[in-house]
Amino acid sequence: MKPKKQRLENSIEILARQNLGYHEFILKFSDIEEISSLIDVRDLDMWRTLGLDITRNESNEIELGTRFRDISEQEFCVVDIETTGGTTNGQIIEIGAIKMKNGAEIGRFESFIAAPVVPENITELTGIKASDLVGAPNLLNVLERFKIFLGTSVFIAHNVNFDYGFISHSLNEIGLGILLNRKLCTIDLSRRTIASQKYGLGSLKELLGINNTHHRALNDAIAAAEIFKVCLTRLPFSIQTTEDLISFSKNAPSVKLKPEPVLRALE
């Protein structure tokens, strides 16, 4: 991770643990070029357009909404993308997302994105052909609409750093800023709530009896959302707020598989 990006993320992590006085907040983030070059850090509405759910309270402190919000009151957006390659040589060709609150779906987003070519290996993996993208909206159009759909909800994905990082990079490349939403990885959360030998999306779908088409954006988002719902039913009682949940997904001990009994041959 680049040092500047790490500094921004570390500063936001401080907000996840404690409020900051308004002037302390301004001083801290004015000194971080990655954000101060994008927005006026004094304008909290601009922070929210980048997905960070912050407010200024009656004590003149900046607080992060996810720090105090009960999990049942939080909006989560489970996202999956299909791409033609990595961030340096590829682009997003499909986005699928499910927005959830209190275990129920409250919205969904799905779109192809125009691209001049789809590599053969991507077609083999996803079934998406270049002809499927003819007439699809361009990247700017789709990402503008996706940002509105996402809002300040918590961004969830299976291997979240890939989807989150790719979308944030793509947004920045076309002049729409970066993502600052709080994020959660269903692989990490599954490791702490579901006993399994493997934690890939396909393996967890099979284990949990989730049946749908693999390697298409909306279907994979739906599958990840179902996995997330299972995880929520297995949380310790002490996990109450959204930040409790995010911290638990990163730091709690992993679930241990019970050893299979050894059957001795009858003598």
pLDDT tens, residue by residue, 106-139: 999 999 999 999 999 999 989 999 999 999 999 9
Same domain flag for 104 and 173: yes
Q: How many domains does the chain have?
A: 2
Q: Are residues 23 and 87 in the same domain?
A: no
Whether residues 183 and 230 fall in one domain: yes
64 in the same domain as 92: no
181 and 53 in one domain?
A: no
Pair type for strands 92-101 and 75-83: antiparallel
pTM over 0.85: yes
pLDDT tens string 208-265: 999 877 678 999 999 999 999 999 999 999 999 999 999 999 999 999 887 655 555 4
| Residue 97 CB contacts under 8 Å (≥ 6 apart), including other chains | 77, 78, 79, 80, 108, 109, 110, 146, 149, 150, 218, 221
Same domain, 130 and 79: yes
Looking at residue 130, which CATH number applies to its domain? 3.30.420.10
| Domain of residue 218, residue span | 71-250
Rounded alpha-carbon distances, angstroms, from residue 191 to 48, 74, 204: 31, 22, 11
